[in-house]
């Protein structure tokens, strides 16, 4: 069984900020690769719930992936 090497996976992002993944009209894609060593597919968001000192004892939820 053979697997693709990580560097053969191509990931790009639309710098125009289009929100519809079904329409690429007017999109400007650029590669993203710096700092990425692995990719793990996940069905949902990855979140961070950190309670910072200025939050009055409450945590805020930030989507990180």
Amino acid 17: pLDDT: 85
pLDDT at residue number 8: 79
Query: Residue 24's pLDDT is what?
Result: 85
Q: Can you give the pTM of this predicted structure?
A: 0.48
| Contacts of residue 47, Cβ cutoff 8 Å, sequence gap at least 6 | 61, 62, 63, 64
pLDDT at residue 28 in the model: 92
Greater pLDDT, 39 or 4: 39
pLDDT tens-digit series, residues 11-63? 888 999 888 878 888 899 999 888 887 787 778 888 899 988 888 889 988 88
| Whole-angstrom distance, CA of residue 34 vs CA of residue 18 | 22
């Amino acid at each position: 069984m053979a697997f693709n090497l990580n560097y053969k996976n191509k990931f790009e992002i639309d710098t125009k900020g289009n929100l519809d993944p079904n329409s690429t009209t007017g999109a400007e894609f650029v590669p993203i690769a710096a700092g990425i060593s692995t990719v793990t597919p996940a069905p949902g968001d990855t979140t961070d719930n950190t309670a910072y000192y200025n939050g009055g004892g409450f945590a805020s939820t930030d989507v990180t992936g």
